Amino acid sequence: MKKMLTIVLLVACLMAEAQIQTPAASPAGSVSSVIGITEVKIDYFRPRLKGRKVFGEKDVMHPYGQIWRTGANTGTKISFSDDVTVEGLAVPKGEYLIFTWPGAAEWTVSIYKDVKLGGDTDNYDKAQEAANFKVKAEKLANQVETLTISIDDIANNNKSGAVSLAWENTRIKFSVGADSDAKVMKDIEAKTKVSPGNYVTAANYYFDNGKDLNKALEWITLGIDTGNKEAFWNIHTKAKIQKALGDKKGSLATAQQSLELAKKSADGDFGYIKLNEELIKKLNEELTVKTTKKK
């Protein structure tokens, strides 16, 4: 019996090794991006047109108004490392499926909680929806041969981005909001108490996001005093904070200090000579105007 089992296992191993690997009809794809401090990741299978008509009323692969697994094989998964909003709807952190109902002018999109469903659209359960919304369908001038999903339009304030899906001559987009401010603020409060090196990070965050500038100045000063006193990039940030607070003379002196250190740096100035010169020029112009007005 043992001999027979050994032979069966050996044959199975040989068969597995003898299988020919060929390119997949719908290759796997993956895309990820960080919005703020939240990772958004999408895993999907990418069908190709191969001369077929995809979206439309009849004689197409995915008729208007009918549910689609939004990809091939087991469909498309999207995950969020933190709580987010999708088209303004709150979605807890976790992994989901994306289902869609294509239309000529707009699509319905569902963020679906039960990822075990995979591409089984017949057993779709509306009770498992984390979010359901409509988005506009955009007609493209150039044909997209292979289904392509991307994460685009990351906002300057890092609080939002957009998931874009394009195939054939159609594209849709839906927004993902990831406002990490509360989490960052909590992190700042905790970690500046245990690591002085975090003062600079906290100061930059406060300055970039229009928060308490006096606190930002306090933290950048502590960061410089307790860290690398020749870090001209941090001293330049201090000059910008002083300017924003209206202390133009103090800002001018700090910018000049940063400029001199940048000029002496053996490792290069990383563009800070130019940045300081521009800031100094602007400050001198503003101080001249102020002096002229007083006269």
CA distance linking residue 164 with residue 136, whole number of Å = 12
Provide the residue ranges of all domains of the chain, joining segments of one domain with +.
24-177, 181-294
Low-confidence ranges of the chain (pLDDT < 70): 1-18, 193-194, 196, 290-295
The CATH superfamily label for domain 181-294 reads: Tetratricopeptide repeat domain (1.25.40.10)
Which residues make Cβ contacts (< 8 Å) with residue 84, sequence separation at least 6? 35, 38, 40, 90, 91, 93, 176, 177, 178
3-state secondary structure of 285: helix
The pLDDT value recorded for residue 45 is: 97
The pLDDT value recorded for residue 58 is: 87
CA distance linking residue 111 with residue 42, whole number of Å = 12
The pLDDT value recorded for residue 227 is: 85
The pLDDT value recorded for residue 32 is: 97
Residue 140: which H helix or E strand, with range? Answer: strand 138-152
- The DSSP string of 240-275 is HHHHHTT-HHHHHHHHHHHHHHHHH-TT--TTHHHH
φ/ψ region of 106 (left if φ > 0, alpha if ψ in -120 to 50, else beta) reads beta
Asked if 172 and 137 count as a contact pair (C-beta separation under 8 A), the reply is: yes
- What pLDDT digit, counting tens, does each position of 47-99 carry? 999 999 999 998 999 999 999 999 999 999 999 999 999 999 999 999 999 99
- What pLDDT digit, counting tens, does each position of 269-279 carry? 999 999 999 99
The pLDDT value recorded for residue 245 is: 95
Query: Which 3-state string (H, E, C) describes 84-97?
Result: EEECCEEECCEEEE
Q: What Å distances lie between residue 273 and 42, 44, 200, 262, CA to CA?
A: 42, 47, 20, 6
Asked if 78 and 38 count as a contact pair (C-beta separation under 8 A), the reply is: no
- Of 189, 163, 190, 166, nearest to 177 by C-alpha is 163
* Per-residue tokens: 50: 């191969």
Q: What are residue 111's DSSP bridge partners?
A: 98, 131
Burial class (CB in 10 A: 0-12, 13-18, 19+), 24: exposed
Cα angle value 222/223/227 (rounded, 5°)? 115
- The DSSP string of 192-234 is TTT-TTHHHHHHHHHHHTT--HHHHHHHHHHHHHHS-TT-HHH
Give me the helices (H) in 75-170, please. none
Q: What are residue 257's DSSP bridge partners?
A: none
